[in-house]
Amino acid sequence: MPDPSRGLSLALLVLLAAGCSPAAVSGPEGEARYLADYVPTPMEVVDRMLELAEVGNEDVVYDLGSGDGRIPIRAARRFGARGVGVEIEPRLVWFSRRNAAREGVEHLVTFLHQDALAVDLTPATVVTLYLGREGNLLLRPILRRSLRPGARVVSHAFDMGDWVPDRVVRATTHRGEEAVLYLWVIRE
Which residues would be at the binding site for ligand SAM (CB under 6 A)? 32-36, 38-41, 63, 65-67, 70-71, 86-89, 92, 115-117, 130-131, 156
Pick left, alpha or beta for residue 124 (phi over 0 → left; psi -120 to 50 → alpha; otherwise beta).
Answer: beta
Residue 101 burial (CB count, 10 A) = 11
Q: Which amino acid is at 76?
A: A
Question: In terms of DSSP H, where are the helices of the chain?
Answer: 9-17, 43-52, 70-79, 90-102, 133-146
Q: How far is the CB of 188 from ligand SAM (least distance, A)?
A: 29
Q: How far is the CB of 95 from ligand SAM (least distance, A)?
A: 10
Q: How far is the CB of 163 from ligand SAM (least distance, A)?
A: 19
- Closest to ligand SAM by CB, 50 or 71: 71
Q: Which residue is nearest to ligand SAM (CB)?
A: 65
Strand partners, 152: 126, 185
- Closest to ligand SAM by CB, 24 or 164: 24
- Closest to ligand SAM by CB, 87 or 103: 87
Burial of 143 per CB tally in 10 Å (0-12, 13-18, 19+): buried
Burial of 83 per CB tally in 10 Å (0-12, 13-18, 19+): buried
Q: How far is the CB of 162 from ligand SAM (least distance, A)?
A: 23
Q: How far is the CB of 64 from ligand SAM (least distance, A)?
A: 6
Q: Which amino acid is at 96?
A: S
- Closest to ligand SAM by CB, 38 or 94: 38
- Closest to ligand SAM by CB, 82 or 156: 156
